[in-house]
Structure 1
Amino acid sequence: MASALYTSFKALLLTADIDLAADDIRAVIVDTADYTYSAAHDFLADVPGGARVAVSSALGSKTTTGGVFDAADTTFSAVTGDSVEAIVLYKHTGSDATADLIAYIDGVSVTPNGGDITIQWNASGIFAL
């Protein structure tokens, strides 16, 4: 599966119901053996708990310059569990049933060993519109 923006996120952008710079945006690293991307997914509840290897705190230093979303590199502390093959970005609301999915980022390959995992976002940004 290639990286993609969730369809529901695109609709939220068009109706100004999400603000990438101001909202609490987080990342979850996932095991694709337990989760398969679907454009029909719209909330974090659509990503099974067993697929979620670790969840970040709020992304820091977010920018939305020139149609490009970017943030500071993200560290997941003391990660154990299944291998990681993707990252899912979402708007944290405190409830998985209302936490809007934003992006599915493929191409990650990490096997947790109890240490920290740092995601170094692409120098050109996390994604562009």
Structure 2
Amino acid sequence: MANGYFTPFTEGLLDATIDLDTAVIKVALVRGYTFSASHKFVSDVTGAGGTINGTSAALANKTVTGGVFDADDTGVSATASTADHGWLLFQASAVTGGADVAASAQRVIAWYDTGTGLPVKPGTGTVSLTWPAANPKILKVG
């Protein structure tokens, strides 16, 4: 298990196909996935054996300040499972925002399966996700 950023995420920041404060950013609970930095789309994650067990609403009150991305804490309604789950952070919409696009166009950003409260074994109901209060918060670039 390992946390990490997807290499195409940094490329997306540089070529403006990912926009953390304008696009719709979500997080999903995923089981059965082994992180690969080369994955670019949510469909790559599911194609590599990852199963999505719930997705959050759009992250609210997003900020990008000093190379740090943050947003309000969130929750995911998931079905009960004894399997280990990680969190997948992804851009669900086009870069300009709006409705969710197909999984084959949703850009993956980061994978979290190591740390306090991780991996997750969801019970019935909502699984809460509390982002760190100090850097790197959700993520830090640079």
TM-score by length of 2: 0.82
Provide the C-alpha distance between the structure 2 equivalents of 1:57 and 1:81, rounded to a whole number of angstroms.
Answer: 21
| Cross-structure match for 1:128 | 140
In the alignment, residue 28 of structure 2 is paired with which amino acid? Answer: V
Determine if the alignment matches structure 1 residue 55 to structure 2 residue 55.
Answer: yes
Q: What is the aligned counterpart of 2:40 among 39, 42, 62?
A: 42
* Deviations 1:96-125 (CA, angstroms, capped at 9, x unpaired): 000011111122232222121100001121
Q: Secondary structure of 1:77's match?
A: strand
Provide the C-alpha distance between the structure 2 equivalents of 1:101 and 1:16, rounded to a whole number of angstroms.
Answer: 14
Provide the C-alpha distance between the structure 1 equivalents of 2:9 and 2:63, rounded to a whole number of angstroms.
Answer: 17
| Cross-structure match for 1:116 | 126
Q: Secondary structure of 2:28's match?
A: strand
Q: Secondary structure of 2:8's match?
A: helix
| Cross-structure match for 1:102 | 109
Q: Which protein is richer in strand relative to its size?
A: 2
Provide the C-alpha distance between the structure 1 equivalents of 2:58 and 2:41, rounded to a whole number of angstroms.
Answer: 17
TM-score by length of 1: 0.89
In the alignment, residue 139 of structure 2 is paired with which amino acid? Answer: F
* Deviations 1:70-110 (CA, angstroms, capped at 9, x unpaired): 11001112542353431111111320000011111122232
Q: How many residues align?
A: 127
Q: Which runs of 5+ in 1 are unaligned?
A: none
Q: Which runs of 5+ in 2 are unaligned?
A: 94-100
Q: Considering only aligned residues, what root-mean-square deviation do their CA atoms show, in Å?
A: 1.6
